[in-house]
């Protein structure tokens, strides 16, 4: 799979292995093209602020258990599993998408789709803790995606969403950038 490097502020994508630091070439020698010209099966790499991202208890680098984060923002809001064929690396995490169209939506504005608190449980974050977020226990609130640990936790979180979000927003900046769940 070919890799593409994209700065979060870039208007163009730099294509080719040269952009990823392989092949002995510099990014200046790489071909530049627009997002619209991107190949659907290319791994797009987007620079992101270094923050803790939950990548599952088994390790690896796939975020949100491989679910397509754009699927939460549809009319149905039902999470759909993504495919490795449509992948984007955003920071240290790889996001999978169900289609090239969904991948393009994400590339255009990743921050609009990534889950809050790096995909960790929103309820636990309100307590200042990192806990796994379950991709099937999600809710979009004011255009932002929140995950919860389990159904019991989600039930409590749903009872006071604004209060828990307020507490989580205060706690998230205090989490060290290199924090890892369970460490």
Same domain, 14 and 101: yes
90 within a domain of the structure (yes/no): yes
Same domain, 25 and 59: yes
The label of the residue with tokens 């990548």 reads 55
180 within a domain of the structure (yes/no): no
The reported pLDDT for the residue numbered 116 is 96
Residue 172 vs residue 182, higher pLDDT: 172
Same domain, 153 and 137: yes
Residue ending a domain, among 71, 98, 113, is 113
Same domain, 80 and 46: yes
Q: Is the pLDDT of residue 36 over 50?
A: no
Q: Is the pLDDT of residue 44 over 90?
A: no
Same domain, 97 and 39: yes
**Long-range Cβ pairs for the range 124-127 (8 Å, 24+):** 124/149, 124/153, 125/167, 125/168, 125/171, 125/172, 125/175, 126/157, 126/163, 126/164, 126/165, 126/167, 126/168, 126/171, 127/167, 127/171
Print the domain residue range for 140: 117-174
Instruction: Please say whether the beta carbons of 102 and 86 come within 8 A.
Output: yes
Residue ending a domain, among 97, 113, 129, is 113
Split at pLDDT 50, 70, 90, the class of 58 is low
Q: Report the length, in residues, of the chain.
A: 183
The label of the residue with tokens 């636990």 reads 124
15 within a domain of the structure (yes/no): yes
The SS3 assignment for 178 reads: coil
Mean pLDDT value across the chain: 79
181 within a domain of the structure (yes/no): no
Residue ending a domain, among 67, 89, 113, is 113
The reported pLDDT for the residue numbered 37 is 52
Nearest to residue 10, comparing CAs of 76, 107, 121, 139? Answer: 107
The reported pLDDT for the residue numbered 92 is 85
The label of the residue with tokens 């409590």 reads 156
Same domain, 132 and 109: no
Residue 113 vs residue 10, higher pLDDT: 113
Same domain, 109 and 160: no
11 within a domain of the structure (yes/no): yes
pLDDT digits (tens, 9 = 90+) for 87-113: 999 988 999 999 999 999 999 999 999
Q: Which tokens sit at 94?
A: 């790889």
DSSP state of 121: B
Mean pLDDT of 149-162: 97
The reported pLDDT for the residue numbered 180 is 77
Residue 159 vs residue 36, higher pLDDT: 159
Q: Is the pLDDT of residue 5 over 60?
A: no
The helix or strand, by DSSP H or E, that contains position 68, with its residue range, turns out to be: strand 67-68
Same domain, 67 and 129: no
DSSP state of 133: P
Count structural domains, the chain: 2
179 within a domain of the structure (yes/no): no
* Residues above pLDDT 70, as percent of the chain: 73
Same domain, 47 and 73: yes
């Amino acid at each position: 799979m070919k890799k593409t490097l994209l700065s979060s502020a870039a208007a163009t994508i730099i294509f080719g292995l040269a952009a990823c630091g392989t092949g002995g070439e510099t990014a200046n020698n790489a071909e530049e093209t627009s997002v619209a010209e991107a190949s659907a099966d290319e791994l797009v790499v987007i620079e992101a602020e270094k923050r803790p991202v939950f990548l599952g208890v088994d390790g690896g680098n796939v975020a949100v258990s491989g679910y397509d984060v754009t699927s939460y923002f549809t009319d149905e809001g039902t999470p759909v599993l993504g495919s490795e064929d449509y992948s984007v690396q955003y920071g240290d995490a790889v996001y999978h998408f169900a289609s090239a169209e969904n991948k393009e939506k994400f590339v255009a504005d990743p921050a609009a789709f990534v889950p809050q608190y790096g995909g960790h449980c929103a309820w636990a974050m309100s307590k200042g803790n990192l806990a796994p977020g379950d991709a099937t226990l999600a809710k979009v609130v004011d255009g932002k995606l929140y995950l919860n640990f389990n159904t019991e936790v989600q039930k409590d979180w749903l009872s006071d969403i604004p209060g828990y979000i307020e507490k989580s927003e205060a706690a998230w900046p205090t989490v060290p950038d290199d924090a890892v769940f369970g460490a």
